[in-house]
Structures are given as C-alpha cells and as structure tokens.
Structure 1
Amino acid sequence: MKRLKDAVTAGAQGLYLSITSLAGSIVLFVCAVVSIAFILLGVGVFTTPAVLTSVRAYANRHRVLAGEWSDVHIPIPYRPLPADLGTGITAQVERCSLMLKDPATWRDLQWLLANMTAGAVVVAFAPTLLLYMLYGWVLALGVWEPIHNAGGGEWYAFIHVTSQTTANYAAALGVAFFALGVFVNPSIVRAHFLIARSLLAPTASMRERELALRVDHLTETRHDAVDTSAAELRRIERDLHDGAQARLVAMGMDLGTIEAMIESNPAKAKELIAKARQNSGEALTELRDLVRGIHPPVLAERGLGDAVKALALRLPVATEVEVDLPGRADAPVESAAYFAVSETLTNAIKHSGAERVWVDLHHGGGMLRISVTDNGRGGAALGAGTGLSGIERRLGTFDGVLAVSSPVGGPTMVTMEIPCELS
C-alpha cells in the first residue's frame, strides 16, 4: 500500500514538474537570451539582473524540491554580490557585469535548455505510466469499435487495436504500465533531479574557488578573534585595576588606619570598619559582574537555554524565551552564542524603543539557530554602528552567519546560525 501511495505521489510530482519544467524553462530562457542580447542596446543592462535573479529563484526552487521530494541535495554555487552596490546606474551596470561573470549564471542557462527537453520528457513518464492505463481500459470497454469503423487505425503503445481481443490486450498492457509505474515512479522523479544536479551543482573549479574564499573568510575571522580576545583581556585588566583592585587597596589602607586608632578613637575606628565592609561588598559585586562578563556561571552550570532565560529576567522590557535544545554545544560555541544574544538584546533595548522582545533558540540540521525579534521602530542594519557588525565578527569565528530583517517601522528580526553538534 505504501509503494502505491509513493507511486501516486511521484506521479503527481512528475505531472507538476513536467508542466513547470517545460513552461517555466522556456519563458525564462527566452527572456534571458533576449535580455542579454539587448545589452548592446543599453536596455539589457537594466533588465538582465532582474531576469537572471528570476532564473536563480527558479533554480533555487528546483533545488528545494529536489531535497524535499527525492533527497537529492544540490548546493547553491552563486557568487555573493556586494551588499553596498546601491541602486544607481553605475551600480546597475556593475551588478549586471558581476552576474554575467559568474560561471553559475551560464550553467543555469544550460540547465534551462536541459530542463525543457530531457528533464521534462523524463519526468513526464511518471504520470504517464499511471494514467495511460485508463485509455487502455476505455478502448477495451468498446470505444475501439467506432474508431475502427470510422477508418481510424488506433494504436495503444505497440498494439494495433482492430478487435475486442486486441483492445483487451491494450487493457492488459495498461495494467502492466501501471504496475511498472508503481515500482519506478519515485526513481523517475529522482532521475529528473539528478539531471538538474549535473548542471546546477558547483563544478570542481567552483568548489575550489568556494574553498579558497572560505579559507580567506576563516583566516579573517580568526584574526578578528585574536584582536577581540586581546581587547577583552585589556578590558578585564582595566576593570580590575579601576574597580575591584582600587577598592581592595582602599580597604587595606582603612584597615591599617583602624589598627592604629582602635584604642585611641574607637568611634572613628568603628566608622572606618563600616566603610571597609561597604568597600568589600562593592568589590565582591564588581568581581561577580566581571566573572559574569567573562563566562556566566549559569552558562557553565545549566547551559545556553537557561543562561539566556536568566539574562532575559534582568532586562527592563518583557522578554519571552523559547528553547528547544536537546543537548549542549561545546563551551566556546555556547559562550559565543550567549554573548551574541546579550549584545543583540542590548542593542534592541538601547536603539529600538521596543516594548517586547522574543528570543527563540533551537537546533536542527547541524545548526544552532537563534532569532531575536522586537516590536521596535526598526531600521537596524549591518555596519550602521549598532553593534551588529561586532556580533557578526563574533559568530564568524565559528563559521556562523548573521542576518538582519529590520524594515522602517519594525519589527526587527536578527537571526544567527552557528554550525555545531549537540552532546
């Protein structure tokens, strides 16, 4: 029963793919070729980026379906465009040039050709094997006779239907086609996606270039991590020198004075003892804050989820925290994630004017995913001096990424992803 259900599902998928592969690929291929040709006239400079963006969206949709329907994973090979290109004519020309220089663009166009021909034909067999049986039964139920009497030479596959017997043969062959579809339909849909992967997946040269870019990025983030660590050590040294150390020195001097005057002026000595006690309490508080800033005890003892919940309790705005973490990440990853969330919440409270904040932490697909959403005024952006660039560098040390969605008027959503496994 499950095999039949899978075959029918694959048949429906095949029907959808055959129609969209043929229609979508033809339209996009023609638009892309015409737009590129019109670059010589100047018009194509403005239309080509939009058309190629549509081609990429269409190809990415195919990648998603390949993974969901047939477990065929097709990586995305496009070179990232600079985030600060702008919208002027010069920026449009540069955008068009960068997209045309990307080898993945031309492989997309090759895939459109293959998709509208071989891809559409191959996947069309999935619905055909199931539906063609119906025509064989229609012929066997008597439709063959008026067709034959009218002079028609009706064929069902390789069977020439000229009598009830041959019509029955056609019905039997239709059942055989249906049975074949039950067994091969999922493989047919998978074959369609394998054809797509042969053209949409990165080539060896693309993978080498991607690896080189990845090495450069990791080298840069490691340097940032070293600089950040040095700055953090200087901050700790400064906080100790200006805070707890100064209070302890003052407390030591007070105790020396108390020792000298405890017999001659007990009242003054008692006053200095109270001051020393106050200094010791303030020094202890500063040391606790310093330790919490280095690595919060609750983070080490109870993990990232509880540490973020404890952090939310200290915030001046209502904050909801949802946690779905079935285990714990490595300590450095937890620390980076915690302080990234802490800085994001600090930014939201200082700059957004939000009245409510939502934090969601979960793990899936080898990724720790964190989203921080507020209902503030919006308008946040990377590199805009809001501290988000520092968070991005912190996550980059662990090959993590940061994305910001913050339209003017809000809401603002900051999404963080860090590749890791949970214990």
Structure 2
Amino acid sequence: MNAMRNRIRGALLAAGRGIWLSIVALAGSATLFVCALCSLALIPLGIGLVTTPYVLDLVRTYANRRRLLAVTWCDVRIPVPYRAFPKDLRPGFTGQVERTTLMLKDPATWRDIQWLFVDMTAGQVLLLLAGTLMILPVEGFLLAAGLWRVYTDNRYWYTFVPVDSQATGLAAAALGVVFFLVGMAVGDRLLRLHFVLARVLLAPTQEEELARRIDRLTETRHEAVDTAASELRRIERDLHDGAQARLVAMGMNLGTVEALIEKDPAQAKKLLAAARASSAEALTELRDLVRGIHPPVLAERGLGDAVRALALRLPVESEVRVELDGRADAAVESAAYFAVSEALTNAAKHSGADRVWVDIHHADAMLRVSVTDNGRGGAAVGAGSGLSGIERRLGTFDGVMAVSSPAGGPTMVTMEIPCVLS
C-alpha cells in the first residue's frame, strides 16, 4: 500500500514539475533563442559586439539552472563545458569584442543555442506528456460525472472518444484510468528523458572532455611538481633547523664531556644529561617529520585507522565511519589522508564547531570522503586557503572537491578520488 501511495505521489510530482517546466521552457527558451539569433545577426553592424556577451551570459545562466534541476530532480548530471576567460581581458569596447570572439569560438555556445531550439520543441513535448497524462484522467472522470451534458449541441471529443451520452462518458472515464496508469508508469521517466535529451546537447563532447582532462592533468602535474619541491625545501629546513642543530649541539656537548670527564666529573655528568635530552628531542622531531611525510599508522593499518587516529587528536568531539573493502594505492591513501587532515584542521581552528563527522567509503570505482562540522559555516575555496590546497592535492589524482558551507552552517567538504581497492 505504501509503495502504491509513493508511486502515485511520484507520478503527480513529475506531472507538476513537467507542467511548470514546460511553461518556463516555452517562455524562457523561445525568448533567449530569438534574442541570441538577433544579437548574432547584429554583430556585422557592431551592435551585436556589445549585446552578444550579455545575451550569451543569460543563456549560460539559464542552461546552468536547467543543469541544477536535472541533477536535483532526476539525478542526471550535465557537466559545465564553458571555457574560462583569460584574466587579462581589456576593459571597454575592445574587451567586449574580445569577449564576444572568445564566446563565439567556444563550441559550447553553439550547443547552447541548439539546445534552446530543441528545448522548446522536442523537450516541450516530453514535458507536456509527463504532465497531461496525469491531467487527462480528471477530465475523463468529470465527463462521466455528467459534464458531457453541457455539450448538448455538439459532440465533445475526449482524445479519440466522442462523448455524447452517459455510456460514452463512462468510456471516457475508463480511458482516463488507462491514462492514469500510463502516467504512473512513465511520467517520471518522461521527465528524466527530457533532461537526458538536454544532456546530449549541453554536455561536452568526448573530444572536448578529453582535451579538458588533459589540460587539468597538465595543470595539476605542474602544481604537484611545485608542491613536491616546496615539500622538499620544508623537509630540508626542518632538518637543518631542528634535528641537525640538536645533533650538532649534542656532539659539542659530548666533546666537552670528553675533556671534563677526569677534571670535573660532576659537570661532565650534567653535560651527558643534556646530551641525552637533546638526543630525545632530536628523535621526537625526526619522528614528527617522518609522520608529516607518511604517517606510520597509514602505512601499517590503512586510511581508516589513520583518520581515526587523526580524529582522536582533535580538540572537538568527532565521529568517523569507514566502509572500505580493501586498500587503495599508497599515493592515493596519502593524498586522502592529508586532505582529511587539512579539512579537520580547518574545522577545529576556524569553524567554531563542537562536533565533526567523517565518512569514508568506496563505490563506483571512486573513493569518497566527506568531512562535516556543525560550525558557523561560510567556508569558501580561495587563493591561499587550506581548501585550495586540498583541491590541488586531489587534482593530482584527477580527484575533485565540493564545499557546501552556508552562513550559519553546517559545513560539508566532499572529496572524490578515482581508484580501485586491492
């Protein structure tokens, strides 16, 4: 009974969304399609050079809104394929000309315009079908209830059934039941098919996706090389200023002990104690340095236990849930570990949270990690922030990061890294 109730509710929801979106699509897509064509036609006159960037920006915003509805309503993900503009665009009319040229050279622009036309034609048909299949039964029931008597002078056609008597009214109601059952079966599928059709036109082609991935990998590889060089300099500096300095001091103390051991045994004993303390501190610093490069617990017990150990050292209450059937490559585990470490550090230092949740699992050849806190929110990815460092670290492995942090919280940092488990 509950399953049937949920099925009817889902079909009615799909119908309502289909009708609402058909109105929006008919008005929005048609208007933007005409405006885009007019603006492009006015480019030779110079007017279009000014208007085209604004019109195409509206088209992109409209398309991105449809992408959001696709993933929210039907879990259909449509990647955003637009090329980024260079940061050194000149101001004024010259900049507008450059911006127009760059937009027209972007294949995604022309796919957007094609999609606008398809959205107000074939896409419109799918939306209307999803909606009318659940509305037609109401009309059939009204005709069976006696509405057919209003049309005494002319025969009323309910789809392909002529209604001019109570018997034909009941036939209309029976047909309405059929429409209702068909709507329950295919209403949500028609809505999903509408978004799948949009994905065919709005998503980047395989060649473009491959080119973008190569560009991203090239960029992240350069960042990885820079990060590795910076890390090596940090290790060298830590060794020079920490353990090495203590070992030098310990050697000098031992040399002094050697000279004083017969003349002043008491002083020699104090210097030996100081040397022993220096050796212990040097050993601690070396262990901390090694832990910063690759924590022993990560190598020995895997990502789950390493993250649990991180959480135990937090000054706030934490909960870690791990569902892994094996282990990823050492490099992937290390990247995930330090990404989680940075996210937990940010939560403890900046969010004002008193509780943190960490979830780690593997599905669809993807390692997924989420770090959530109940702090004040407002976290954002920006230059120099810890979140930017996480993004660069994950990008080395073709991974991605998403941040949801509305004002007032909560903050959720979600990370995904493609990998397989051993």
**Normalised TM-score (structure 2):** 0.77
Q: Which residue of 2 aligns with 1:316?
A: none
Instruction: For residue 228 of structure 1, give the secondary structure of its aligned residue in structure 2.
Output: helix
The answer to whether the 8 Å contact 2:312/2:318 transfers is no
Matches within 5 A, 1:336-351: 336-340=335-339
Hey, what's the Cα distance between the residues in 2 that align with 1:67 and 1:132?
28
Q: Which residue of 1 aligns with 2:133?
A: 129
Amino acid at match of 2:238: D
Amino acid at match of 2:189: S
The answer to whether the 8 Å contact 1:247/1:283 transfers is yes
Hey, what's the Cα distance between the residues in 2 that align with 1:19 and 1:82?
37
The answer to whether the 8 Å contact 1:398/1:418 transfers is no
Q: Which residue of 2 aligns with 1:396?
A: 395
Deviates more, 1:80-89 or 1:181-190: 80-89
Hey, what's the Cα distance between the residues in 1 that align with 2:98 and 2:204?
23
CA deviation profile, 1:87-129 (whole Å, cap 9, x unmatched): 6554444333222221111111111111112211232122222
The answer to whether the 8 Å contact 1:381/1:404 transfers is no
CA deviation profile, 1:19-62 (whole Å, cap 9, x unmatched): 22212212222332333344445554444333323322332333
Q: Which residue of 2 aligns with 1:152?
A: 154
CA deviation profile, 1:214-245 (whole Å, cap 9, x unmatched): 22432343344345334434543453355323
The answer to whether the 8 Å contact 2:380/2:403 transfers is no
What is the CA-CA distance between 1:397 and the residue it aligns to? 1.4
Instruction: For residue 160 of structure 1, give the secondary structure of its aligned residue in structure 2.
Output: strand
> 1:417 and 2:415 equivalent?
yes
The answer to whether the 8 Å contact 1:305/1:325 transfers is no
Instruction: For residue 18 of structure 1, give the secondary structure of its aligned residue in structure 2.
Output: helix
Indicate how the Cα distance of structure 1 residues 49 and 134 shifts in structure 2: closer, same or farther if over 3 A, else same: same
CA deviation profile, 1:283-316 (whole Å, cap 9, x unmatched): 2232233223223446555645335435654xxx
Indicate how the Cα distance of structure 1 residues 156 and 299 shifts in structure 2: closer, same or farther if over 3 A, else same: same
Hey, what's the Cα distance between the residues in 1 that align with 2:165 and 2:408?
73
Matches within 5 A, 1:160-199: 160-199=162-201
What is the CA-CA distance between 1:422 and the residue it aligns to? 8.8
Deviates more, 1:158-167 or 1:388-397: 388-397
What is the CA-CA distance between 1:147 and the residue it aligns to? 1.7
> 1:272 and 2:276 equivalent?
no
Indicate how the Cα distance of structure 1 residues 269 and 58 shifts in structure 2: closer, same or farther if over 3 A, else same: same
Matches within 5 A, 1:2-401: 2-40=6-44, 42-82=46-86, 85=89, 89-148=93-152, 151-203=153-205, 207-297=206-296, 303=305, 305-306=307-308, 308-309=310-311, 312-313=314-315, 325-327=322-324, 330-340=329-339, 356=352, 361-362=358-359, 366=366, 367-369=368-370, 381-382=382-383, 392-401=391-400
Indicate how the Cα distance of structure 1 residues 363 and 51 shifts in structure 2: closer, same or farther if over 3 A, else same: farther
Q: CA RMSD in A?
A: 4.2
Amino acid at match of 1:264: K
Instruction: For residue 120 of structure 2, give the secondary structure of its aligned residue in structure 1.
Output: helix
Hey, what's the Cα distance between the residues in 1 that align with 2:377 and 2:67?
35
The answer to whether the 8 Å contact 1:29/1:113 transfers is yes
Hey, what's the Cα distance between the residues in 2 that align with 1:173 and 1:344?
58
Indicate how the Cα distance of structure 1 residues 85 and 305 shifts in structure 2: closer, same or farther if over 3 A, else same: farther
Hey, what's the Cα distance between the residues in 2 that align with 1:190 and 1:283?
63
The answer to whether the 8 Å contact 2:148/2:169 transfers is yes
Indicate how the Cα distance of structure 1 residues 257 and 193 shifts in structure 2: closer, same or farther if over 3 A, else same: closer
Instruction: For residue 103 of structure 2, give the secondary structure of its aligned residue in structure 1.
Output: helix
The answer to whether the 8 Å contact 2:381/2:388 transfers is no
Deviates more, 1:391-400 or 1:297-306: 297-306
CA deviation profile, 1:346-382 (whole Å, cap 9, x unmatched): 8999xxx968478775457744355799979999842
Amino acid at match of 2:197: I
Indicate how the Cα distance of structure 1 residues 334 and 143 shifts in structure 2: closer, same or farther if over 3 A, else same: same
Instruction: For residue 415 of structure 2, give the secondary structure of its aligned residue in structure 1.
Output: strand
Q: Structure 1: any 5+ residue segments left out of the alignment?
A: 314-318
Indicate how the Cα distance of structure 1 residues 165 and 233 shifts in structure 2: closer, same or farther if over 3 A, else same: closer
Hey, what's the Cα distance between the residues in 2 that align with 1:45 and 1:372?
47
Q: How many residues align?
A: 406
**Normalised TM-score (structure 1):** 0.76
Q: Structure 2: any 5+ residue segments left out of the alignment?
A: none
Indicate how the Cα distance of structure 1 residues 376 and 88 shifts in structure 2: closer, same or farther if over 3 A, else same: farther
Hey, what's the Cα distance between the residues in 2 that align with 1:5 and 1:403?
32
Indicate how the Cα distance of structure 1 residues 420 and 362 shifts in structure 2: closer, same or farther if over 3 A, else same: farther
Instruction: For residue 417 of structure 1, give the secondary structure of its aligned residue in structure 2.
Output: strand
The answer to whether the 8 Å contact 1:307/1:338 transfers is no
Hey, what's the Cα distance between the residues in 1 that align with 2:374 and 2:53?
32
What is the CA-CA distance between 1:211 and the residue it aligns to? 1.0
